[in-house]
């Protein structure tokens, strides 16, 4: 069984700021590419890689003609359950999960469940005492409040995942 995979890669323009965040994952830098452990996905036929230039992958999937690459992927692959992992839990992951849950009722049929794998998520740590020394920075303590908020929006939060392949009869 080949499971369909959708991967978002942050690929930001150096001259388009995203306050309050500093520049990150600038197009053409190693930060905007897959980490070494996941580079195999570049040649995986069942993987769709999407470079996005905004925090929310759902919005970052909108094409100039108004179509949405992620929505098309859900429909074309008959996705009923979406397993989400990523960085940063309470920014990119949370924004994407909230958009997917909001769109679920109207746009993302047949999607039924958005599941966040907590052990596959991480966030960065910018404690208050450090943020206070950086102009225009907001504190970002390494707490997984994103998981709590995602659950409150209707996502299922899991700490273990197993995949079952249906037996053909």
Say if residues 111 and 6 touch (Cβ distance below 8 Å): no
Task: List the alpha helices (DSSP H) in 20-140.
Answer: 69-76, 94-104, 128-131
99 domain residue, yes or no: yes
Give the three-state DSSP class for 157: strand
Residue-number span of the structural domain to which 109 is assigned: 5-158
Residue 169, C-beta contacts closer than 8 angstroms, at least 6 positions apart: none
Q: pTM of the predicted model, to two decimals?
A: 0.84
Distance CA 102, CA 168 (A): 35
147 domain residue, yes or no: yes
Q: In this structure, how many other beta carbons lie within 10 angstroms of the beta carbon of residue 91?
A: 17
pLDDT below 70 — which residues of the chain?
Answer: 1, 141-145, 166, 168-169
CATH of the domain at 97: 3.40.50.850
Nearest alpha-carbon partner for 38 in 77, 3, 5, 62: 5
pLDDT reported for residue 157: 92
164 domain residue, yes or no: no
Structural domain total, the chain: 1
């Amino acid at each position: 069984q080949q499971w369909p995979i959708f991967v978002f890669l942050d690929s930001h323009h150096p001259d388009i700021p995203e306050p309050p965040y500093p520049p990150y994952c600038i197009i053409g830098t190693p930060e905007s590419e897959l980490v070494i452990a996941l580079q195999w996905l570049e040649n995986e036929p069942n993987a769709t890689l999407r470079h996005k230039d905004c925090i929310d992958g759902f919005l970052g999937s909108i094409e100039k003609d108004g179509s949405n690459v992620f929505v098309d992927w859900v429909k074309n692959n008959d996705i009923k359950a979406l397993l989400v992992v990523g960085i940063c839990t309470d920014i990119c992951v949370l924004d994407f999960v909230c958009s997917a849950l909001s769109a679920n009722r109207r746009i993302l049929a047949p999607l039924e469940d958005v599941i966040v794998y907590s052990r596959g998520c991480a966030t960065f740590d910018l404690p208050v005492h450090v943020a206070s020394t950086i102009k225009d920075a907001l504190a970002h303590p390494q707490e997984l409040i994103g998981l709590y908020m995602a659950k409150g929006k209707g996502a299922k939060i899991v700490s273990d995942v197993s995949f079952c392949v249906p037996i053909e009869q």
